[in-house]
Structure 1
Amino acid sequence: MRPIGTLSDQGQAEAFGDYLLTLGIDGMVREESRGWVIWVRDEDHVEEASREFQEFLAEPTDPRYRKAASAARTIRSEREREGKRRMSRIIALREGWSRRTRSLAFGLARRATKTRGLTLALIIISVVVAVGTKLGSAENALQNALYIASVTVEGGYVTWHGLSDIFHGQVWRLVTPMFLHFGIIHLVFNMWWLRDLGMLIQERRGAPTLALILFSSAVVSNLAQYWWAGPLFGGMSGVVYALFGYLWMKGRLEPHENLGVPRSTVYILIGWLFLCMTGWVGPIANAGHIGGLVAGMLWGSGPYLLRRWRRRAAD
């Protein structure tokens, strides 16, 4: 933007500014210390505007300058209306994007809840229980309430009364040992595998199928471990092995269902299963691992084997 001249009279400056506007030359009239300065916005129009300014100085009362006022008002009004229409379109566009963005966000949130909600809930509960029980560093009421059977420690001896708590209505004890973890590595290892395997099943088969496999296998693995070594155990690993067993069998027997685990996962988890049996990694709920694995393999292979049996029976 460049100045092309100065006038001492405001009326004349505004009249010339109106005239320039009718010629398609955008500018502005601004009061400064030396008078009313005429500014032109576009450098390409400076030369033409300067010639017109010299003609205006020579004959400022020419009728064309008076007539320009009405035409300039019309141009400014039209520009104002166009500016409002443009702003309305921008606002509508922004609101449209905002609605679509919110809709997308809500849709993703609903999908995440649908495909991952149960798995995430189990992870959150396990972490909360780990904090509440201090990762098993000291016996407390919460930990005792989640064991498959309540225990009493006196004089270094641990006693319990079979599964009488469950028979008297505390049926949650059949599954709640899976939320107990004894050490940060124990917790992280199980949550890692629960996330990977659980989310895969929930996304492909839905939360009801995952819940059925998960809670039934928790009961089987917890009872197996209780039968083998008593009530002092906990962890999600029996469930993890059940989910692994389910996916392993699905991938082997029904690969078209797009469920399965990589061969490397099979090697890792089966290898870990046998390593734990050696006792080299400390006290491990091996019976719970095996019970969960068998339960999961039955869930994964059962429908396939049943269909084959029915076809053979029909033949």
Structure 2
Amino acid sequence: MKQLLVINDARLAQSFADYLGSRGLHCELTQSETGITVWLADESRVAEAEVEVKRFLKEPFHPRYAEASWQSGTPNQRIDYQAGHHSLSAQFLIHAGPLTLLVMLLCLCLFGLQFIGLDIYAALSFHPDLQQLTGWQIWRFITPAFLHFTPLHLIFNLMWWWYLGGMVERKLGSSKLLLLLLVGAAIPNLCEFLVSGPDFGGLSAVVNVLVGYVWMLGKRHPDGELQLPDGLFMFMLVWVAIGFSGLLGSNLANTAHLSGLVIGLLHGWLDGRRHATA
């Protein structure tokens, strides 16, 4: 047998072994003080297995591994599955990078300050009129993205931000996520102001940028690290369309949502093109 890797989380090791088994790469697991060792039974297929090892190390929590375990349903009685098991909070932190967590914390703090009665909106909302657009308070192009008005509004946006922002930050780095955040806040906010005025807020436009970006980059590079299922992309398209229909009320920043999605698609297409010509 050939040793593939050692994993300190027994559940992850079993999921990976089950996934390899679903691809015809039979593996054995052994446990020691250093962790769970994954052994490949057929050494003639080492090259194939090493490709899967590299992919696993890049995204160990990808659903493909859990799905393989669910289908297999054959736990190893010799393995202690509590060894090295990550708690839900640890998995939450593993998925998100520092910028992802910082933005979440900022949104939560600002929402809390608004909840206790502080007039945060007056200081951070968009410029109230066209004459002040060229003023020195340049932060007002960005800061409306961090303002939320209801708990559901906040939770919905932060869930998407954690999922997509964490994905982008882990794969492409904090600088790329920061660029998407700044562009995805400033341009949609300006578009929304020009159409509907200054009374809006929320991270939704930035989330739509990330949806469009990740989906388009995945389409340009089907074998790349960033992928978004077509179903989730279609969900966001339908959500934007419902917003324009008025079924969700008249206080949605629909122009910001749509412009954010378009910006994300264009950015993903341009980055995909650069990767293709590199």
* Post-superposition offset of 1:266: 1.3
* Post-superposition offset of 1:183: 0.8
Going from structure 1 to structure 2, the CA distance change for 1:120 and 1:307 (only over 3 Å counts) comes to: closer
How many equivalent pairs are there? 188
1:218 matches 2:221: no
State which drifts further: 298-307 or 248-257: 298-307
Going from structure 1 to structure 2, the CA distance change for 1:129 and 1:163 (only over 3 Å counts) comes to: farther
Assess if the C-alpha contact under 8 Å between 2:217 and 2:269 holds in 1. Answer: yes
Aligned partner letter, 1:230: G
Going from structure 1 to structure 2, the CA distance change for 1:248 and 1:288 (only over 3 Å counts) comes to: same
1:264 matches 2:260: no
Question: Structure 1: how far apart are the matches of 2:263 and 2:227?
Answer: 16
* Post-superposition offset of 1:145: 0.9
* Post-superposition offset of 1:238: 0.2
Partner of 2:134: 167
Secondary structure of 2:126's aligned partner: coil
Cα-Cα RMSD: 2.5
Secondary structure of 2:201's aligned partner: coil
Question: Structure 2: how far apart are the matches of 1:141 and 1:177?
Answer: 13
Assess if the C-alpha contact under 8 Å between 2:126 and 2:143 holds in 1. Answer: yes
Assess if the C-alpha contact under 8 Å between 2:129 and 2:198 holds in 1. Answer: no
1:128 to 89, 98, 109: 109
Question: Structure 1: how far apart are the matches of 2:234 and 2:266?
Answer: 20
Aligned partner letter, 1:129: L
1:141 to 93, 113, 119: 119
1:288 matches 2:256: yes
Q: Show structure 2 runs of 5+ residues with no match.
A: 1-32, 34-85
Aligned partner letter, 2:106: I
1:94-139 Cα offsets, whole Å, 9 max, x none, are xxxxxxxxxxx9xxx9xx589511011101100111111229xx7x
Question: Structure 1: how far apart are the matches of 2:160 and 2:94?
Answer: 19
1:185 matches 2:166: no
* Post-superposition offset of 1:185: 0.8
Which protein, 1 or 2, shows the higher relative CO under an 8 Å CA cutoff with sep ≥ 6? 2
Question: Structure 2: how far apart are the matches of 1:144 and 1:115?
Answer: 30
Secondary structure of 1:284's aligned partner: coil
Tell me the TM-score normalized by structure 2.
0.62
Partner of 1:207: 174
Going from structure 1 to structure 2, the CA distance change for 1:246 and 1:234 (only over 3 Å counts) comes to: same
Assess if the C-alpha contact under 8 Å between 1:123 and 1:191 holds in 2. Answer: yes
Assess if the C-alpha contact under 8 Å between 1:143 and 1:180 holds in 2. Answer: yes
Assess if the C-alpha contact under 8 Å between 1:115 and 1:207 holds in 2. Answer: no
Question: Structure 2: how far apart are the matches of 1:163 and 1:239?
Answer: 25
Secondary structure of 1:133's aligned partner: helix
Question: Structure 2: how far apart are the matches of 1:209 and 1:186?
Answer: 25
Aligned partner letter, 1:143: Y
* Post-superposition offset of 1:177: 0.3
Question: Structure 1: how far apart are the matches of 2:198 and 2:167?
Answer: 31
Which aligned segments of 4 or more residues in structure 1 are displaced greater than 4 angstroms? Answer: 112-115
Question: Structure 2: how far apart are the matches of 1:274 and 1:114?
Answer: 30
When Rg is computed on C-alpha atoms for both structures, the one with the higher figure is: 1
Partner of 1:276: 243
**Percent identity (aligned):** 31
Question: Structure 2: how far apart are the matches of 1:232 and 1:161?
Answer: 11
* Post-superposition offset of 1:285: 0.4
1:1-315 → structure 2 map (5 Å cutoff): 116-134=97-115, 141-149=119-127, 160-164=128-132, 166-282=133-249, 283-305=251-273
Aligned partner letter, 2:100: T
Partner of 1:86: none
Higher helix share: 1
1:51-100 Cα offsets, whole Å, 9 max, x none, are xxxxxxxxxxxxxxxxxxxxxxxxxxxxxxxxxxxxxxxxxx9xxxxxxx
1:131-172 Cα offsets, whole Å, 9 max, x none, are 11229xx7x5311111111xxxxxxxxxx43251x5221111
Going from structure 1 to structure 2, the CA distance change for 1:219 and 1:255 (only over 3 Å counts) comes to: same
Q: Show structure 1 runs of 5+ residues with no match.
A: 1-92, 94-104, 150-159
Question: Structure 2: how far apart are the matches of 1:146 and 1:113?
Answer: 31
